[in-house]
Structure 1
Amino acid sequence: MLSFKISKPFFKEGPTNMFISIALSSCLLGLIFGIFIYTYLTRSHSPRKQIEGENRCVYIEDGRKEYKTLKKNCDDEQIRLTVVVPAYNESDRIVDMLKETVDHLEKRYRTFGNRGKRLWEVLVVDDESTDSTVDSVLQFSGSLNLGDHVRVCSLKKNRGKGGAVTWGMLHARGQYAIFADADGASKFSDIELLFEHMPKNATGGVVIGSRAHMVNTEAVVKRSFIRNFLMHSFHKLLQVLGVREIGDTQCGFKLFSRFAYRNIYSRMHVEGWIFDIEVLTLARFLRLPIYEIPITWHEVGGSKMTLLKDSIRMAIDLLVIRLNYSFGIWQQPKPKSA
């Protein structure tokens, strides 16, 4: 009868084999982590598809609600300026903001002074508010007989500030478009400072309002320690990731030429608070000029940000933007001409 005797183990215990086991385990863990990161990068920031009915807006005409279906990328040469206002539970603040905005638009963007044709439109994008934001806007518009120059579009499911702004820009008709926060923290008449720096060529560019000059002012110094700490930490992270030439990326007062907003917002992925970074990143890829202009700004209470939670989310989103474009997961647009 044949018998076999194995005198030595196939794998001898020792430092070499232990090293191999650790290396194989590390490679496996690295592979699993890499797959997880890749999956997160490719699937976590896909813009939500439009829900049926979201492209219908409402406005007040002769005291009655009227409805209109909006089309994307629809030009109207009679509209010089579109103002996009993202709004989420802003019934307490948005009317004051609209009063200031409309007052300036009526003075500066009408033919023959305040009696001619209106060359402006305001598009309020209601991001699934649960208060009376929509009714407040319509009541204000109706009181001044503004008609379809003030329209409200209600999203069926909350998208975040970036998603609301993007939706509004995709449906803007103006030669230029600006998004302005509903809190009224920025002085709307400062838009003329932005227009002074807007290139007059066919492609135009991006001109952004900035609060960077106010870092050492009383309005900022009096903020809480944690808020200022997170603000400075965010700026440091931006510098580490290569965004160094812009002092204030997050100011909610940015003006775009039609060429700029059409080519930028049609490529957007991020819908949260940090969307401004992707906007400016895409503008750089398209080689559009970006100008940063100091504006008047004041602190307004009632912010919708959850300070710590949203700050962490912004940091994560910032890394996602950087990695997706660096690794080619999100395609970098090539410069275009008008």
Structure 2
Amino acid sequence: MASIASLVYFFVFAIASTWIAEVVRGWWLWTRKLEDDRKREEKRTLSNRGKPSTKRLSIVIPAYNEEKRLPAVLKSTLEYLVKRRDREGSSFTYEVVVVDDGSTDQTAVKAWLCAKEMGAEDAVKVFQMQRNSGKGAAVRTGCLNAEGDLVLMMDADGATELTHGLEALEFALCQRLMKKSKSSGTGAKRAGEGAKASMGAEDTGPASRRKKAAGRGNVIQEAGGYTHLSQQTVACFGSRAHLEQEDIVTKRTRVRNFAMHGFHLLVFMVVGGSIRDTQCGFKLFTREAAFALFQHQRLKRWCFDVEIVNIAQRLKIPILEVQVKWQEKDGSKLKFLHVFHMALEILTVFVCYNLKFWRIKTAAAV
């Protein structure tokens, strides 16, 4: 009987060892493929990184099967940009980069039709990926092909209010650079007035709009203007952390909240707690920061945001976190089973960067 039991244990051990070895081998091949894909994307966009910016602002919108939601979001985005150009002058130039992540519906067609309807064919670029690769891959493609001094990444569902969110992130970024350059007391006073103008905000009359535009212009000028901003390496993340006790979160199911807290714990273990909300789909980068971060990004799906934070920490690129107005939208692509894949991605970031399987080539200047 002892010999039979030993034989059974041996076979169980052999089968388990073989299975574990295959899992590890599959994971290793996956990480190598991610690295190879990153190198190809970096090489393909190399020429763009050597070019000077041609726009003040680029807005990158990753989209997968968003033919229903994208047109309304794209229309409101273009309307905002046109109004802002009218207020701030023709020097405020912009582009909207829509990256169709291998959609099976008419996402790209709807984007083109919306641009044509708005008379904005020259301001809208649509990149169509050959197959569905994931949100991270779409964002990387858009940001590495962007031509703006500032690059904003925003989701196609329009969950974050663009006007308040973008201007709040811009103001935080400018303030950080002004503090760094030790601006004069007069400059700080003007910056404060600019903050009230751009973020103050219940009055929507013509005088109020002019005041906001002037304030925003003052803040950007105090920070050195768009060209100076583009040459800095700073990122600014929109955050929903202040909403954790709101009804929008407390009404979620216990399972979803459990998964959320588990995810936050994994994120804390990998990148610490300096950024409370890594997953908000509303992030602003200077041109230099966008290239420095996304040329190193490997993950293609849900946890690319966590990897970006990890890369920024290693390159010593500061990330600011700013509260934004956000509301949950129907039609989320994230399913419960994706949580397990997200956990694998986070652990992959931890292992591959700490064991130098994935390397950061150069350090960016802060």
- 2:167 maps to 192
- 2:348 maps to 320
- Tell me the distance in 2 between the aligned counterparts of 1:117 and 1:131: 36
- Are residues 115 and 291 of structure 1, via their aligned partners in 2, closer, same or farther at CA, if it must alter by over 3 Å? closer
- 2:317 maps to 288
> Which residue type is aligned with residue 152 of structure 1?
V
2:226 is the counterpart of 1:250: no
CA contact (8 A) 1:324 1:330 kept: yes
TM-score normalized by structure 2? 0.73
- 1:104 maps to 80
2:144 is the counterpart of 1:170: yes
Post-superposition Cα deviations, 1:41-80, rounded to whole Å, max 9, x if no partner, equal 4533634749x9xxxxxxxxxxxxxxxx996426453301
- Are residues 246 and 70 of structure 1, via their aligned partners in 2, closer, same or farther at CA, if it must alter by over 3 Å? closer
Q: Which moved more, 1:162-171 or 1:94-103?
A: 94-103
Shift of 1:91: 1.0
Matches within 5 A, 1:1-338: 37=24, 40-41=27-28, 43-44=30-31, 46-47=33-34, 49=37, 72-73=48-49, 75-108=51-84, 110=85, 113=87, 116=90, 119-189=93-163, 190-198=165-173, 199-200=176-177, 202-305=231-334, 307-337=335-365
Q: Secondary structure at the match of 1:148?
A: coil
> Which residue type is aligned with residue 315 of structure 2?
L
Shift of 1:37: 3.0
Structure of greater Rg: 1
CA RMSD, Structure 1 to Structure 2 (Å): 3.1
Structure holding more helix per residue: 2
> Which residue type is aligned with residue 78 of structure 1?
T
Q: Unmatched 5+ residue regions in structure 1?
A: 1-17, 53-68
Shift of 1:265: 0.7
- Are residues 261 and 33 of structure 1, via their aligned partners in 2, closer, same or farther at CA, if it must alter by over 3 Å? same
- Tell me the distance in 1 between the aligned counterparts of 2:258 and 2:142: 32
> Which residue type is aligned with residue 90 of structure 2?
G
- Tell me the distance in 2 between the aligned counterparts of 1:147 and 1:76: 22
Q: Secondary structure at the match of 1:123?
A: strand
- Tell me the distance in 2 between the aligned counterparts of 1:223 and 1:301: 13
- Tell me the distance in 1 between the aligned counterparts of 2:262 and 2:285: 28
> Which residue type is aligned with residue 168 of structure 2?
L
Q: Secondary structure at the match of 1:260?
A: helix
- Tell me the distance in 1 between the aligned counterparts of 2:301 and 2:266: 17
Shift of 1:220: 1.4
The alignment covers a number of residue pairs equal to 299
Post-superposition Cα deviations, 1:196-227, rounded to whole Å, max 9, x if no partner, equal 12144632301000000000101111122221
- Are residues 115 and 139 of structure 1, via their aligned partners in 2, closer, same or farther at CA, if it must alter by over 3 Å? farther
- Percent of pairs identical after alignment? 32
> Which residue type is aligned with residue 298 of structure 1?
Q
- Are residues 144 and 167 of structure 1, via their aligned partners in 2, closer, same or farther at CA, if it must alter by over 3 Å? same
- Tell me the distance in 1 between the aligned counterparts of 2:332 and 2:32: 24
TM-score normalized by structure 1? 0.79
